[in-house]
Amino acid sequence: MESEIKDHYNSDHLTQDIKTALINAGFNLSALELKNLSPIDQLHTGGAPASINLFKKTNFSPDALVLDVGCGLGGSSRLLAKQFNCKVIGVDLADKFIEAATFLTQCTKLENNVSFQQGSVLDLPFENNTFDAIICQHLLMNIENKSKGIKEIFRVLKQNGKLILHEITKGENDTLLLPVPWADKTSISFLEPWDILSTILEKQGFETQSYSDGTHTACSWWEKVNLVSQTRSPRPNSLGPGLVFGDIAKFFGKNMYANFKNNSICLVEAILKKSYAT
């Protein structure tokens, strides 16, 4: 199953394609700003503003060691390091994402604070009680065995450490339009409603400190994305989701807006605490 998920995200020439697109857009690869990368490394619902607003609620200490699990191209990892002075390690199943994330981090001169390695949330390559906080952003819908994944997250988090969730969950409507950013087929999409997900988290030992339903805001955000995609002709090899996901990316705006509007999916934000050590 993990190989199918990895194939969904991996692209053989991703780093080179990103280099070429950045150069064609007129950017200096040795002096990139984080905002230059947002069309490709902030592909989750709400983009960078949604991440920053959630991170502000977490009150990171400047010397915090944070794990970004399912880090993708490392956009959130770099935001944390730049704006909150954290040390961040990003982990992702897709090795091509890790290669590109490392390259982009070097281009933004954040390699002293951010590093990446390939790995699975089902078997995290870290010792017990390592991290002060863990970000889980648009990851769990690709994880079939959520209990195992959450157990691993709990294991590597320090006592009183924070788990920051920004996740897509299942709505009341069973119809899901595909493709969406995390899946182009039903066999790699494992959505669960929040009540089931929260039960798994609590059984593992997490305490919920804050929770909010961001579905309405998410629907509005994707409506804007959809409108832009309808009025802007796709440009081959330009900075954007298509560079990462290929031709299926042109359907993301329409499908995500419809899925939120039809209550097929919801968006939740939550901060949880590990109340005892492993």
Band of pLDDT at residue 44, cut at 50, 70 and 90: very high
* Closest to 40 in 3D by CA, of 168, 32, 55, 3: 32
Could you read off the pLDDT of 259-269 as tens digits, one per residue? 999 999 999 99
Could you read off the pLDDT of 61-90 as tens digits, one per residue? 888 999 999 999 999 999 999 999 999 999
Q: List all residues 6 or more positions away from 45 whose beta carbon is below 8 Å from its beta carbon.
A: 138, 166, 168, 214, 218, 221, 222, 256, 267
Between 225 and 75, residue with greater pLDDT: 75
Q: For residues 166 and 277, give the distance between their C-alpha atoms in angstroms, rounded to a whole number.
A: 24
What percentage of the chain reaches a pLDDT higher than 70?
97
CB 152 within 8 A of CB 123: yes
Band of pLDDT at residue 154, cut at 50, 70 and 90: very high
What are the tokens at 75? Answer: 């956009």
* Closest to 39 in 3D by CA, of 252, 259, 216, 217: 252
Q: List all residues 6 or more positions away from 216 whose beta carbon is below 8 Å from its beta carbon.
A: none
- Look at 12-16, 141-145, 164-168, 267-271 and tell me which has the smallest mean pLDDT: 12-16
The confidence score (pLDDT) of residue 108 equals 97
- Flag whether pLDDT at 237 surpasses 90: no
Q: For residues 256 and 180, give the distance between their C-alpha atoms in angstroms, rounded to a whole number.
A: 7
- Flag whether pLDDT at 258 surpasses 90: yes
Could you read off the pLDDT of 97-130 as tens digits, one per residue? 999 999 999 999 999 999 999 999 999 999 999 9
- Flag whether pLDDT at 234 surpasses 70: no
pTM of the model: 0.95
Domains and CATH numbers, the chain: 2-167+188-214+267-274 (3.40.50.150)
- Flag whether pLDDT at 278 surpasses 80: no
The confidence score (pLDDT) of residue 228 equals 82
- Flag whether pLDDT at 238 surpasses 80: yes
Element (H, E) at 201: helix 194-204
Q: Is 143 exposed, middle or buried (0-12, 13-18, 19+ CB in 10 A)?
A: buried
Expressed in angstroms, the distance from the first to the final Cα of the chain is: 28
Beta bridge partners of 170: 265
- Flag whether pLDDT at 276 surpasses 80: no
Band of pLDDT at residue 207, cut at 50, 70 and 90: very high
- Flag whether pLDDT at 2 surpasses 90: no
Q: For residues 217 and 76, give the distance between their C-alpha atoms in angstroms, rounded to a whole number.
A: 19
Whole-angstrom CA distances from 118 to 92, 110, 164, 165, 263 are 5, 19, 21, 21, 34
